[in-house]
A and B are shown apart, each in its own frame.
Chain A
Amino acid sequence: ECLGGEKRIKMATYIPVGYPLIDEQQRFFVNQVNETGKGSVRIDMYWGGSLLKGKEILPGLQAGTADMVFQTTAYLLGSFPVIAIQNLPIWDSLEKAHVKLEMDGPLAVFQNDVLRKRNLFQLAVGGAVPEFLWTRRKRVRTPADMRGLKIRVAGKLEAVAMETLGAVPVTMSSAELPQALQRGVVDGALMNPWTARGRGVEEYCRYMLVYALSSQSTPIYVMRNKWESWPAEARSVMKNAAAKWEKNYLTLITKTYPLKETIIPIYEKAGMEAVYPTTVEKAEFARALKPLIDWWVSQVGQETGNRILMLAGVK
C-alpha cells in the first residue's frame, strides 16, 4: 500500500462522471489531496461506479474493497439512522446547513461519536441541499394539495415524510422514473434541483414546489479503525483538503450555480413553473412535517435525537 512513504488510498463513488454539481465537487477533493499531498498521500480514484455501485458502496467500504468513499446518505440510513439529520426537512438555508454540519463542529463530532459504535467515520459532510417536490399536473402549495398524490421516493425517510403529508410514497428504480412520470404511473417525485438537470424529468413535470421537503448530502466516509491507522501527515492533508472542499461546496451552490438565478431558470425555460409558497404556507408544511421529526427521534432514541436536534439549532 505504501510506495516510497506515499500512502495510497483507494476511493470510490457511484456518481456518474459529469453528473451535475456532485461530480465537480468530488473531483475538487481528489485533486486537492493529490496536489497538496505529494509524497505523503495519494488517492487512487474509481469514478462512476467502476469499483462499487450505489448499494455496494457501504459493504465495499466495510470489507476494504475501497478505503474511502463518497456516499449519498440516503443509502446509509437503514444502517445508520443517526445521519438522517442531514436529510430531515429542517435546513431552511444552504448557509445554515453548511455552518451547522461543518467538519469538527459540535454536530459533526456528536454524529461521529454515535457512528464510532459501528466503526464508521464521517470525515466531512459539505452541506445539505434541499429536495423539492416535482409534480406532473398538480400545482402544490399546501400539504392539503398533496393528499393522495403518488410520489416516487428514494428511501424510508422520504417515504415516511410523504405519508405524513398524506401523499402515497412509491418506490421504483431511478431508471424508470422519467417514463413513469411521462405516463403518469406516478404523479411526482422528490428531487434535488441541482442534480435533476437534463435527466428529462423537466419535460414531464409542470410544477416544482420550492420548499425543502427533505434534504440530500454526499459526505466522505472511512472505516474508523482504518482512518486511525493512517499516518498523521496523510490524515492532516486529507483534513485540510476536506475543509477546503466544504467551502468549495458552499461556493458552488450559492455562487457558481445559485438556485434562483441559475438553476430554477433552467427549468422555467423548459416550461416548468416554480411555485414559491408564502410564509403562511411554509409554516403549514413545517407543522405537517413535525410528526416525521418525532418519528425519527423515536428511531434513534429520545436522548440522542433531541441532542442532535438541539445541536442542529432546531430545538
Chain B
Amino acid sequence: MSLLAIIAITIALMLGFLLFGFPIFLSMGGAGIIGIMMHSGIDGLSLLQTTVYGAVSRFTLVAAPLFILMGEVIFRSGIGADLYKILSWLLRRIPGGLAMATVLACAVFGAMCGISIAAVATIGVIAIPEMLKNGYDKGFAAGAVCAPGALAMLIPPSLLFILYGEVAGVSVGKLFVAGILPGVLLVVLMSAYIILRSLTVPGMHQSDAATPTFHRETVNAFKRVWAPLLLILAVLGSIYFGIATPTESAAIGVAGAYLSACFVYRSLDRKRFGETLEEAALITGKILIVYVGAVIFTQFLNLSRVPETIAGFIAAMDTPPWATMIIIQSMLVLLGMFIDGASMILITTPILLPIVKVMQWDPVWFGVLMIANIEIAVITPPLGLNLYTLSAVSKEIDSEAILLGTFPYVAVMIIGLILLIVFPQISLWLPSMM
C-alpha cells in the first residue's frame, strides 16, 4: 500500500468514527493505532507505549487539572457567579451584555493562565448556566465561551509562546509583550460580533433587560468582590513578583480559591468539598484521555512525515512573500484541524523558520501569527480541544450546538488573523518599546 493511501485511509477512518458517535479519544487513538500498524506493521505498535505515557507525563500539563480544580471551587462556592454578576451588571445596557461579560471574563482569566482549556473549563462552568437562564440560544452561549477561551494562549502568560520561543530561539519576554495587543484586538472583534448578532437576531438581548435591576444580591456581590480580586492578584502576583512559575501559580490559585470559599463565602461544606474534587477529576480525565488519543494520532502523522512533507512543499514553492504567507497560514489552519497546538508548534516551527528567515519576516511577528492560528485550531473540528472541554464541563449543551455556535468565531478569528498579517505593527509596536 502506498503511503498516501495509508494516510488517506487513516484520516477517513478517524472522521468516520467521529461521525458515528465514537468517543473522541477512541476515534483519534483507534484510527492512529490502525494507521501505525498499516505503516510499520505490528512491531510499529511499540511506539504506543512511549507515546501514551509521554503524552501526559509532562510537568507543563500539570497546570491544567489545577486550574480546572480552581475553576470548580470558584464555581461551586459562588465566587465566579459573583464576579460574573458584577461584569454583566456593568455591561447591562449593551446588547448581548452577558456574552460580552463572558468574553471579558475569559480575557481576564487568560491573563491568569496560559492554557485555553483551563479558561474554557473555568468560565464555561460559571457563564453557561447564567446565559441559558437569561434565554440565550445554546449555541450562542457556547460560542461565547469556546472562542474567547482560546485568548489565554495569546494573552500572556502563555505556554505556547514559551514553546515557540524555545524552538524558534526568540525571546519569550518579547513574545509575551507582542501578544497583548493582538489579544485585545480579538476581544474587540469578538465583542463586535456579539453586538452585531444581538442586534440583528431579534429577541437575543431582550432577556438581558431583566438583569439590570440592582438586586440586593448584586450589592452583596460588590461587598465580597475583594476576595476574588485578591485571588487574581495572588495568581498573577505570584508570577510577576517571582514567587512562582505559571504552573505553580495554579496551585496558589487552588489554595486561594479554597480559602476564600471557606472564610469569605462560607459556602464550602464537606459535601461540596468532595464534589469539587470529584468533578474536577472527572473533567481532567475526560480531557486528558482525548489528549492521549490526539497524541497517538499526531504520532501516526509524524511517522508518515505528513507535517514535514507539507512544510517542505511550501518551502519548495517559488512564490512572492504575501502568497507564501497566505499559503502557510492556510496550511496551518488545515493542519490545525487535525493536530493539537503544542504538537503543531513543535513540528512546524523548525521547518517554517528557514522560510521566515529567507522572507526576512520578524520571528516575533510570525510567532504571534502562529499562536493566533492555533487559536483557530482549538475551536475547529475534528480535533478542537476547546470544543471538547466545553462539552466535558457543560451538561446542558450538546456538541452539535457547541460546534454551530462556535463556527462564526472561526470567521471572526480569520479576520483577526488577516489584520495581524496586514498590520505587523499590532504585534511589533509594544515589543519595540521595550
A–B proximity contact (CB within 8 A):
yes
**Residues of A with Cβ closer than 8 Å to B?**
16-18, 20, 46-53, 55-56, 59-60, 63-65, 172-176, 178-180, 182-185, 197-200, 203-204
- How many angstroms from the CA of A56 to the CA of B48 in the assembled complex? 11
- Point out the residues of chain A lying under 8 angstroms from B245, CB to CB: 172, 176, 179-180, 185
Given A53-B54, A60-B50, A64-B46: A179 touches B162 (CB 8 Å cut-off): yes
Chain B residues near A65: list those with CB within 8 A.
46-47, 49-50
Excluding A55-B54, A200-B165, A204-B173, 7 further A-B contacts by CB distance (< 8 Å) are A50-B302, A50-B347, A53-B54, A59-B50, A175-B60, A176-B245, A178-B172
**Are B240 and A173 touching (Cβ within 8 A)?**
no
Q: Which B residues are CB-close (under 8 A) to A174? A: 166
B433 to chain A, nearest CB (A): 15
Give the residues in chain A near B43, CB-CB below 8 Å: 64
Contact for A51 among B302, B351, B354, CB less than 8 A: B302
Residues of B within 8 Å of A204, CB to CB, are: 173
Q: Is the CB of A176 within 8 A of B247?
A: yes
The 6 A-B residue pairs with the shortest CB-CB distance in the complex, in nearest-first order: A184-B242, A17-B350, A198-B169, A183-B242, A56-B50, A200-B171
Smallest CB-CB separation from B350: which chain A residue? Answer: A17
Q: Which secondary structure dominates where chain A touches chain B? A: loop
Interface residues in chain B, defined as those with a beta carbon under 8 Å from any beta carbon in chain A: 43, 46-47, 49-51, 53-54, 57-60, 157, 159, 162-163, 165-167, 169-174, 239-248, 302-303, 305, 307-308, 346-347, 350-351, 353-354
Min CB–CB distance A127 → chain B (angstroms): 23
Interfacial chain B residues near A200, Cβ < 8 Å:
165, 170-174
Q: Which residue of B lies closest to A178 (CB)?
A: B172
Decide if A48 touches B347 in the complex (CB within 8 Å).
yes
In the complex, chain A residues whose CB is within 8 Å of the CB of B170: 198, 200
Closest to A136 in B: B242
Give the residues in chain B near A60, CB-CB below 8 Å. 46-47, 50
A219→B171 CA distance, assembly (Å): 29
The answer to whether A176 touches B353 (Cβ under 8 A) is no
Quick check: B162 and A176 within 8 Å, CB to CB? yes
Mind listing 8 A-B residue pairs with CB under 8 Å?
Answer: A17-B351, A52-B54, A56-B51, A59-B50, A65-B46, A173-B247, A178-B172, A184-B241
Residue in contact with B243 in the complex, picked from A18, A20, A64, A185, CB distance below 8 Å: A185
Question: In the complex the two chains form, what is the Cα distance from A108 to B46 in whole Å?
Answer: 30
Residues of B within 8 A of A198 (CB): 169-170
